[in-house]
A and B are shown apart, each in its own frame.
Chain A
Amino acid sequence: MFKFDVLAEDFIGILMVVPKTLLLAILILFLSTLLGGVIALIQQYRIPVVAQIVKVFTSFLRGTPAVVLLYLMYYALPQIAHLLLKIVGIEFNPHDLNPVVVVIVTFSLTMSAFQSEIIRGAFMSVSEGQIEAAHSLGYNFLQTLSRVIMPQALMEALPDFLNSYMVIIKALSLAFLITVVDIFAQAKIMGAMSFRYLEAFVAAALIYWLISAILTALINRYELRLRKAY
C-alpha cells in the first residue's frame, strides 16, 4: 500500500537538499553563461584557430551523453588538476578532489555550448539599424554595448536562461552517480532507509514538478510583461 505519511516525510526530507541543488544549479548557470559568452564572442569574431578548437569542443559536448561526460570527468579531472597544479609547484592528491567540483565543471562545460547559442541569438535579435543609430549619435563601442545592445539582448535571453536553469536542475539528478547528493540522490537515500522507494520517488517527482512550475510561471509572467512593454 502507498503510504502518505511516508510520502510526507520523504517530501520534507528531500526539501532539505533543494536549496543546495538550486544553489549548485545557479553556480553552474552562471559559469556556463560566462563560458558561453566567451564562446559566442570567439565565434562571432571568428578568431582564427581558437574558433576551430571551440567548434570541435562544442560539437563534442553536444554529441556526448551527460552521463558519459560525468564519468569521464570524474576520472580525468583529478589527474588534470594534479598535472596543472604540479606545473605551478603545488602538490595535489588526485583523490582529494571533491566530486562536487567535478559536477560543477562537467555541467558548466556541457551547458556552455547551449548558453552560447542563446547568447548569440539574443545579440542577433538587436537590429543592425539601432546599432548604427547609436554610432551616428556618437556612442562609442562600450556605450553602444551597454546602453543599446546588452539591455535588449538580456531581455531576449532571460526566458531562455530560466529554461536552462531548469535543465540544469534536472540534469543534476545524474550527480548521484559520483556521490553528490541532490534531490534525486536524496530520494534514493530516503527510499533505501525506509525500504519504500515508491513514496520517495513520488516525492522527488513532485518536488521537481513544483520547481519547474514555479519557474515556468516566472517565465510566462516575464514574457507577458515584455510583450506589453514593446
Chain B
Amino acid sequence: MLTLKNLRVAFGEHEVLKGIDITVQKGEVVTFIGPSGTGKTTLLRSINYLEKPSDGEVKLSDVGINFKSANKKDILKLRRKTAMVFQQFNLFKHKTVIENVMDAQIAIQKKSKKEAYEKSCEELEKVGLLEKKDMYPSRLSGGQQQRVSIARALALEPEVILFDEPTSALDPELVGEVLKVIENVARSGMTILLVTHEMRFAKNISSKVVFMDQGHIVEQGTPEEIFEKSTHIRTRQFLKEYYETEEELAVANV
C-alpha cells in the first residue's frame, strides 16, 4: 500500500538517506530503529514531505509521486493521506483541545462545524481526554498533549500515521499512557510507521522492524528476526549497546 523507491535526501553536500526502498502493507506496524543521526526522522518527514527528497518515488494507494518532479498539488495530496505525530507534540497553542482536533477537518476536509465537533469528541474519547476538550494545551501534561496530537492526526482518517519518537520528550511516568494509545491505534488496523527507542514496545507491537544505519536500511524482518536472530554485526552491536545503556540506567535508578 505504501511503497518507497530509491528515496534520497541530502542536506547540502551531506547525503542523509542514500536510497531507501520499502513496502508497507495496509494495517502493518513498521518500526524503525538505528543509531542516532541515521536518518530515521528524515525518512518519516520525507513521507510527509516535510523534507524535500532529491530523488525517489513514493506510492500511497492512488497517489504516486516522483520526488524529482513533485508539484504542489501532489504534495498536498500526500500530506492529506499521511499524518505525523511529532516528538514535541506541536499542538496549536491558541486553540483549545477540541479546536486543535477540529480545525483541519474544517479547513481541509471542509466538514461542517457540527460534523467536525462530533468526530473530534469521538477521537478524544478514544485517547481518554474528552473531559479536557475545552482546555488549552499549556494546561495539559506532555503525555496528554501527545494524546491530543494523536487524536488530531486520527481525526483526518489518514491512510498512514507516522510517529517520530512520540515518547522521547516525556517524563518517564507519562510514557506508558501514550504507548497505550498507540497500541490501540495499531489494534484498530491503522497502518503505522514508528521511530522509537522503546525497544520492548517495538518488539511487542511491530509486525516488521527495520534496522537503519548511516542512511541505509541494513535489514528488516519480524521483531523476532531482528531482535533475537539477527546475524548482522551492526544490528547486534546496536542492540547490545542499547541494552547495556538500558542496564546502566536501571542500575543508576535503583
Contacts and interface: CB of A to CB of B under 8 A. Distances in A.
B83 interface: yes
Interface size class of A (residues with CB under 8 A): 20 to 34
Of listed A127, A132, A136, A229, residue having the most chain B CB within 10 A: A136
B57 to A, nearest CB: 20
A135 interface: yes
Contacts of B139: 230
Interface in A124-139: 127, 129-130, 132-139
29 contacts: A129-B90, A132-B50, A132-B84, A132-B90, A133-B86, A133-B91, A133-B92, A133-B149, A135-B49, A136-B48, A136-B79, A136-B82, A136-B86, A137-B79, A137-B83, A137-B108, A137-B153, A138-B76, A139-B104, A139-B107, A139-B108, A140-B72, A143-B107, A147-B107, A151-B94, A152-B93, A230-B93, A230-B94, A230-B136
Interface in B64-94: 72, 76, 79-80, 82-84, 86, 88, 90-94
Contacts of A136: 48, 50, 79, 82-84, 86
Given A138-B79, A230-B137, 20 more contacts: A127-B90, A129-B90, A130-B92, A132-B50, A133-B90, A133-B91, A135-B48, A135-B49, A137-B83, A137-B108, A137-B152, A137-B153, A138-B104, A140-B72, A143-B108, A147-B107, A152-B93, A155-B94, A229-B94, A230-B136
Interface of B: 48-50, 72, 76, 79-80, 82-84, 86, 88, 90-94, 103-104, 107-108, 136-139, 149, 152-153, 156
Given A229-B136, A230-B136, A140 B76 contact: yes
Query: Helix, strand, loop or mixed for chain B's interface?
Result: mixed
